[in-house]
Structure formats: structure tokens, C-alpha cells
Structure 1
């Protein structure tokens, strides 16, 4: 992987870009840098936001200058990057197909698998949180094998519900809120990755891993009715 680019972004931002196309190496590098800057901020730093292959840093223009931020970043990037010290792993119940996953049959056909085989493969895979975005706390998960490299839908689905599990481009998006989407809906969970009115509004962090476990439509409906944002999910901490 080449040396990252340091790009000015607006009056108070710097984008540290590791790649212009997705790679696991660029994603890991972005997550590691973001973790380091969060635990040990540069003087004047006000915000860190990691993406799929980049990190956005914002700074206070009254407290520092862009040149100082760039110099500090170059120093940080020259040092070996270390991974975050702890990672969360989640097991999340979900149902698939039917009204919860209206595009499952098409996705299976594109992947050259049966619906059962595709979901069995998905539920046997530990997915990593690659980035949060599009909506608060909403995770992009992956990456999946090559036969999951399917395009987005040719037209938007007007609305999917919170908890909908969708796929495109070897990734999974677990919707944090109702939304239109061009990704194919496979199923639904009762898990809510973002809930503003709780003490822990953001449940997932970049670098976390999660695995879906099959449940019935009735089970997921019951979990949704309870209103618990965990939605039956189990969290463990890995060192």
C-alpha cells in the first residue's frame, strides 16, 4: 500500500486517504489511525471520522494551523500503526426472505447459490464493521466472497425498515433507521445500531465483528415489539 495522501477538506479539515478503491489493507490502516488519533489526539483536533479507506480529521482554527496538523500527521504516519486494544463481537438474531428480505431470491441467483446456501454462508461468516456512515451508527460490513460482488439495484427501493439487512458489492449494510436504498434486502433483525435516547447511542464501532444467527419471522417480530435496541443480540469483548 502506498503512502497515504493528506488532502485539505474545507477550512478546518484534512482527509487522510489510504486508497481510492476498497481494500482490506486500506480499511485496516484507516481504522488503526483513527483509533490512535482518538486515544491520543493531536493538539487542536476536534473530530475524527474513519471511512472505508480514509480518515477525516477536523481541527479548531483558533487553536492550531493546518500546517501544524499536517506536520503532526506525517509524524504519526511514519510510526508503526497498532490495532485497537479491544474489539467487540456481536451475535445478532435475524430472519431472512419473505417480506423481510424481498430481494433474497434475486441475490441468490446473482451469486449462483440457492437461497438457503446463501443465507447459510452469510450466517457462518464473521463480518467486520468496515465503517459507519450514511446514517448515524449505520454499519458497512464485510467483506464477503467474490460471488457476493453484485451491483446495486437499478432503481431505489422507496423504503426499508430499521434493522433491514441488505447487500451489494461484497458488503452488508444493516440499516439503522427507515430509509430508501439501492441495496438488495435479504432479511431483518431487531438490532438497532443507533438509538439517540439511550446512554450508549452507538452500539457498533469500526473494527467490531458480528455474526447473524437465523431466527423465525415470529421471533424477530416479538423482539421488535419489545423495543429493546439490542434486539436479542449478545455482545462479547475480545482482547
Structure 2
């Protein structure tokens, strides 16, 4: 899709519409997704269930029974027409605020980041330079996915791009920070994974008992802050 092109709509099953705002990951596309999601929150239609943002899309889930008009039109067409009308009235995306950053402490290397040395060799950088480059940017949370609370981040230094593991690990501890290609993210729960592991945060990213179960959400900005092993042990919130 060319920049500035109208959003494209297509069905996802019989109870969701995907609104596609672009073909590539970008802050401009993210801003458009956030703006439309906020517009829908202010102007919900009857039958709207939830909206799920991704890198280039916003998926709108609805109750087909509640949007049915007695069989005159398929529910998808009714919802798609409603969304097109709302798209025509949404204002321009607001500039993203970066003043309130979420700081994520990370202990890099060693048992917390067993692939840090590999990333250094692959990129031709010293391990200290890998850490410095990884902690320098303010990252944008584009989406939560893969596992509950897992943030997909934009803003990784291009020099740090490193391929995934050829064979994924069967278990990656919660809080582990990894790199996969041009992306970086944080494992929110213990799970299998093939990202290159460079560090671990002592913070808990997801807890179903919390009022808002995920620490992070799409649209936030975060910064990684290096800490020592002693600091990690002192502030650890999840199981080792």
C-alpha cells in the first residue's frame, strides 16, 4: 500500500474485520492504527467486542447477531460499511508522547543472556557495544502478541540485527530479552522461543490477577536500563 493510501478492509472469519493501514512496520502506520482504535473507543457501534492492534492492522471483533439487520445484509458488510464511515471521520494521528517512558531494567549476558556473545560475534561489535546500542533507543511498543504481555518493539539499532536460532529452545524464562532479525522483545512468560537471548529483566510483564494483566501495551515507549546481577537478584519479581 502506498503511503497515505486508504485503509483496506477484509473479513477474518465470520466475526471480525481486519483494517489494514500499511504493508510495512513504521511509526506512521502505528500512529494511524492507534488513532483509529481511539476513535472507535469514543464511537463504538452496536455489537463491537474489541479491537486488537498489530504492526500494520487493527482487527475489529464484533457480535454478528447484534449487528444483524434481519438478514438484509451479511453482518460483515454492515460492519465494514460502519468502519468505512468511521474512517472518513477520524482525525489525523496525534504525535506520540515520549516524555513518560517505561524503564525496563535488564541484566545483560551470563546466565541471563546466553546469546550475547554470539550477537557480538555476528555483528562484529564488542559485547559492551551491543549493550550500549541496545539500551540507547527509546522503543515503541507496536503490539502485544505471541504470548500474553509479550511486546514487539520498534527502534532496534540496525547493527544489532541477528538471525533467530536454527533450533528454538524448548523453554525461555520469563523476563528474557531477545533479538530476532531486526526486532527485539521480552518474553513475558516461560515459553519456547528461538530469539537470541541477550539479557533478562527482573520485572514481571504479565499477571492474570492484575486489574490490567499486561505491564505494557501498544503505543507505550520504553527504554532498557542495564543493571548488575546483584540488582537483578534484589528486585526479581518472577520465578528464576
How high is the TM-score relative to the length of structure 2?
0.87
Matched, 1:36 2:48: no
The answer to whether the aligner puts 1:135 opposite 2:147 as a matched pair is yes
Matched with 2:72 is none
Say which SS state the counterpart of residue 100 (structure 1) adopts. coil
Confirm whether residue 83 of structure 1 aligns to residue 94 of structure 2: yes
CA positional deviation for 1:158: 1.8
Which ranges in structure 1 are unaligned for 5 or more consecutive residues? 230-239
Tell me which residue corresponds to 2:104: 92
Number of equivalent positions:
227
How much has 1:20 moved relative to structure 2?
A: 3.5
Offset at residue 228 of structure 1 (A): 7.6
In the other structure, the counterpart of 1:117 is 129
Which residue is equivalent to 1:150? 162
Indicate conservation of the 8 Å contact 1:32/1:84, yes or no: no
Q: Partner of 1:66 in structure 2?
A: 76
The two structures, once aligned, show a CA RMSD in angstroms of: 2.1
**What TM-score, normalized to structure 1?**
0.87
Shift of 1:85: 8.4
Per the alignment, do residues 153 and 28 of structure 1 end up closer, same or farther by CA in structure 2, a change over 3 Å counting? farther
**2-structure distance, mates of 1:148, 1:19:** 25
Partner of 2:71: none
Structure 1 stretch 142-151 or stretch 102-111: which is displaced more? 142-151
1:50 correspondence with 2:62: no
For residues 71-117 of structure 1, the C-alpha deviation after alignment (integer angstroms, 9 at most, x for no partner) is 12112222333338877521121100011001111112222321101
**How far apart, CA to CA, are the structure 2 residues paired with 1:47 and 1:201?**
16
- Higher Cα radius of gyration: 2
**Structure number with higher relative contact order (C-alpha < 8 Å, ≥ 6 residues apart):** 1
Structure 2 spans left out of the alignment, 5+ residues: 68-74
